[in-house]
Structure 1
């Protein structure tokens, strides 16, 4: 593990940009960007378009290490280039921003109130490629849809089991057990989740380091115990369907919690905008998210 990068993530100011829309979420991201479904044909064209969008964001003068610690990439993005460099190398060499890779393969069907991750069959090969591509860390998502203690334990068990394998490979894993913001028992789900997370942290070897990406909690500062745990490099928040304004307001009330926003980051960006317009919208979003993260 690169110690300069590790210290940057652990102690630096800023937030993480989530640019990891995958096959299922890419069409929606393109629609929001002003590219309708019928304007491209097949996955290859779709991924070309989303890479153009990500490249425009990453190369923008607004997208700098002054406000951004890291960027989460889709596997397809890791294997593509920006201005003649692989995306991860461009991020770190040209921008000073840490590259992070989404490694999960999507969600299994809901059972016991949760959606665990589908099996990651090529994990060892993917982690080797990630190291070869100079990736700093990984991210993997599962979803909690009800305050079911058994289901939540199952999600956390899976996240930690795979997370420890990732840490052994020399990467920093981000565990993302998302709590759906629209469920009526969100607060109780977060209580069960925190209990399980703390229990697993207490059993880790002293040298294991990881991160969490969590839904902004219903109770302000609810995750301070996690933020202060010696195993935890950083705790970041997903926007989860909140508008950018509401996500920022909620985030600002949680000390030590920083953003890892996707939709809330790219809100208002349009392919048809001039570079001046695009960069102004992106800068405004980055400034507001950064401000909310620095509480």
Structure 2
């Protein structure tokens, strides 16, 4: 797929974006959920090798295709690796799936009710490498724990600052200011976040577009003005700790948003499953998430 083909697929594709971007800090938990305990590997190299095997198994599964999965977000090491002897982004595009890369390096300590992104050293080099590998876009995550206007303003400002750097490299950024679904004032955070994003969208250069990855709002329809904004290519939703059934039920109440799930997609997969069991389990999850995304 050429870049414009990928843009068209993301803009209008009837499907969802798989999040396969667990990084160093979250990899042990992801492997444990997959049935691989920490005593099964020694050191980061073996750990990342095992998580790459899991992701390769997902990507090569017959049910993981561009028919229902329109995009996939990768961890940097996954992007730099190979699947069936081909660079991972190529393996995805050959299946009709648009590749993205996670670029943030984790979160700062909480301040003003939010967690900003840590500095991202070497970002220009990473973006250049990603573009050369055929990656379409990026993803960057912050967290909002309280409805604090100053904190949320800082999160959105930082997100758009990085997004503009991404746009300069000819890539499309996914801005992810996650609202903690356990927050007592989650609904108020959603509204403040929406207004801050709208303010920054209106400042983007003419013709530029970003994507948004947001928590499913506490009140259905809260993010509708974002899904209709001309400078937003697509709005995707994270599962944020909801079970798959809960996340799908709530997502279906928010037309214009599609899924970009990680745990809700992968939660039932196990290392010890036969290929037949693995493919059937993954296929069931894909079907449920796809149905909620196109509802």
State the TM-score, normalized to the length of structure 1: 0.99
> Does residue 1:122 correspond to 2:122, yes or no?
yes
Counterpart for residue 99 of structure 1: 99
What SS class does the counterpart of residue 142 from structure 1 fall into? strand
Deviation, 1:106, is 0.5
Whole-Å Cα distance in 2 between the matches of residues 126 and 87 of structure 1? 15
Deviation, 1:166, is 0.3
Alignment of 1:115-194 (within 5 A): 115-194=115-194
> Does residue 1:3 correspond to 2:27, yes or no?
no
Counterpart for residue 231 of structure 1: 231
Counterpart for residue 33 of structure 2: 32
Deviation, 1:256, is 1.0
Whole-Å Cα distance in 1 between the matches of residues 244 and 4 of structure 2? 33
How many residues matched?
294
> Does residue 1:57 correspond to 2:58, yes or no?
yes
Q: Pairwise CA RMSD of aligned residues?
A: 0.7
Whole-Å Cα distance in 2 between the matches of residues 242 and 122 of structure 1? 34
Whole-Å Cα distance in 2 between the matches of residues 4 and 281 of structure 1? 30
Whole-Å Cα distance in 1 between the matches of residues 3 and 271 of structure 2? 36
CA contact (8 A) 2:73 2:100 kept: yes
CA contact (8 A) 1:164 1:208 kept: no
> Does residue 1:12 correspond to 2:5, yes or no?
no
> Does residue 1:84 correspond to 2:57, yes or no?
no
Counterpart for residue 284 of structure 2: 284
What SS class does the counterpart of residue 254 from structure 2 fall into? coil
- Dislocated runs of 4+, deviation >3 Å: none
Listed as ranges, the gaps of 5+ residues in structure 1 are: none
Whole-Å Cα distance in 2 between the matches of residues 225 and 187 of structure 1? 16
Deviation, 1:214, is 0.2
Whole-Å Cα distance in 2 between the matches of residues 133 and 270 of structure 1? 30
Whole-Å Cα distance in 1 between the matches of residues 220 and 66 of structure 2? 28
Counterpart for residue 262 of structure 1: 262
What SS class does the counterpart of residue 120 from structure 2 fall into? coil
CA contact (8 A) 2:211 2:233 kept: yes
Deviation, 1:174, is 0.1
Whole-Å Cα distance in 1 between the matches of residues 202 and 229 of structure 2? 9
Whole-Å Cα distance in 2 between the matches of residues 43 and 172 of structure 1? 30
Whole-Å Cα distance in 2 between the matches of residues 50 and 248 of structure 1? 26
Alignment of 1:36-47 (within 5 A): 36-47=37-48
